Amino acid sequence: MYRTPAGNRLHIGIFGKRNTGKSSLINALSGQDAAIVSEIAGTTTDPVYKSMEILPIGPCKLIDTAGIDDQGVLGKERIKRTQVVLRKTDLGLIVVNPDTLIDSFENDLVDVLQSKKLPFLFVINKSDLAGKKAEDYLVKHKLPSVKVSSKTKQGVEQLKEKIMELAPLGWSPVPLVADLINPKDVVVLVCPIDNAMPQGRLILPQVQVLRDILDANATAYVTKETELLDCINSLKKKPKLVITDSQVFEDVRDILPKDIPLTSFSTIFARHKGDLNAYIQSVYAVDNLKDGDEILIAEACTHHVQAEDIGRSKIPTWLLNYTKKDLHYEVTAGGDFPEQLSKYKLIISCGGCMVNRAEIMHRVEKAKAAGVPITNYGILMAYLSGILKRVIEPFKGGLVKLD
């Protein structure tokens, strides 16, 4: 089966007081007994992440936030733990019961979800039981809700529909290339085969872009840079777009007629996973760097560090060659992104292949709030090698407007 990378799943945070039926709701949504349901309050104490296919929504990750309920931890600590979960959340469900007295617990959640501009929905679970307290409160305060019984499964389909309505706001709202091409268009992918390529297959970003082209009812041709000219000459139709690996950008640019739009995989993913506008505007900060300036390299996962690691080795070398300045680097990995950003002159985010868009956008928002420029690996590489203008040109007609 084709495995959807964790980063492309819709992350649904499920919040609510103890025993309201968070775990039961996860089971009802997935149609499996995946979560632990307990007669005793509070079986699970840490957020539990469960990846599953919820039809017809698609691949999801459900976050069972047991342990940050009303009795698990109090006040500030609860808000802090909630914030950590919210970094990974695309959409929040707040579970209550028909007779729940909605109080500051739920209202604090609404405040924090709203402040993060995350879509949310109250789920009045156990609708097979009597009570109207929760419903009256939610109607009075104009808060969106849906009634569900995880026990009888009544309302589960309506809940899924609501989730789909809400999801696009925060869930990879940016396609890979589908918005840049039309049905019947021809797109050429240039995939060099070097020692860094895995044996016997293409890499995931290439496969994902291929799939996106097929979903858009266009046609994809895949070639190496050495066969690119033959490929182009054999086509009866001018390609709508050529997408290349950045490593062979210069060869491809020299081979390709000027009137054929050209971009790179890393630019496509910079937009899909982050804020392309912010990355482009910020990248010019490299021209103002001075000796002793601090730079933050923000990696989103704790991957295995290789000798030629892009963040730890290649980027510092390229920046030294370009700026000729003595720059100081700090590298963070995984969930720990510094609270204080003001000392950095530039933040360089990784491509974020292992995390969802919400997590990368959380960093972008924090950097913007601190007034620190933030760019990413792909856009920095494109700028330093003088190809930025050409690779961003095809995106000007896309769903996300470039300033």
- Give me the residues that bind ligand GDP (CB under 6 A), please: 16, 18-24, 37-39, 66, 125-126, 128-129, 149-151
Taking the complex as a whole, how short is the minimal distance between the CB of residue 16 and Mg ion, in angstroms? 9
Segments of 165-302 assigned E as strands: 186-190, 219-223, 241-244, 262-264, 294-298
Query: Is the CB of 225 or the CB of 299 nearer to ligand SF4?
Result: 299
Residues 6+ positions from 59 with CB-CB distance below 8 Å? 4, 8, 9, 10, 51, 52, 53
Q: Find the angle CA(264)-CA(269)-CA(274) to the nearest 5 degrees.
A: 135
125 binds, among Mg ion, ligand GDP, ligand SF4, none (CB under 5 to 8 A by kind): ligand GDP
In this structure, what DSSP letter does residue 201 have?
S
- Pick the piece of the chain touching ligand SF4 (CB under 6 A) from 40-48, 73-81, 250-258, 347-355: 347-355
Candidate list 243, 353, 374, 382; residue touching ligand SF4; CB under 6 A: 353
Taking the complex as a whole, how short is the minimal distance between the CB of residue 145 and ligand GDP, in angstroms? 15
Query: Is the CB of 93 or the CB of 358 nearer to ligand GDP?
Result: 93
- Tell me which residue has its CB nearest to ligand SF4: 350
CA distances from 382 to 7, 59, 245 (A): 24, 32, 11
CA nearest neighbour of 177 among 223, 221, 139, 210: 210
Taking the complex as a whole, how short is the minimal distance between the CB of residue 6 and ligand SF4, in angstroms? 10
Query: Is the CB of 137 or the CB of 269 nearer to ligand SF4?
Result: 269
* Binding characters for ligand SF4, 297-336, by CB under 6 A (x = yes): --xxx-x---------------------------------
Residues 6+ positions from 329 with CB-CB distance below 8 Å? 294, 295, 296, 297, 312, 316
Encoding tokens for residue 84? 């950590």
350 binds, among ligand SF4, ligand GDP, Mg ion, none (CB under 5 to 8 A by kind): ligand SF4
Q: Cβ(360)–Cβ(352) under 8 Å?
A: yes
Encoding tokens for residue 123? 């789920």
300 binds, among ligand SF4, ligand GDP, Mg ion, none (CB under 5 to 8 A by kind): ligand SF4
Q: How many residues bind ligand SF4 (CB under 6 A)?
A: 10
- Tell me which residue has its CB nearest to ligand GDP: 21
Taking the complex as a whole, how short is the minimal distance between the CB of residue 282 and ligand SF4, in angstroms? 18
The CA distance from 200 to 349, in Å, is: 30
Site residues (vs Mg ion, CB under 5 A): 23, 66
Partners of 374 in the β-ladder: 347
325 binds, among ligand GDP, ligand SF4, Mg ion, none (CB under 5 to 8 A by kind): none
253 binds, among Mg ion, ligand SF4, ligand GDP, none (CB under 5 to 8 A by kind): none
- Considering just the CA atoms, what is the radius of gyration of the chain in Å? 24
- Give the three-class secondary structure for 63: strand
Chain residues in the site for ligand SF4 (CB under 6 A): 299-301, 303, 350-355
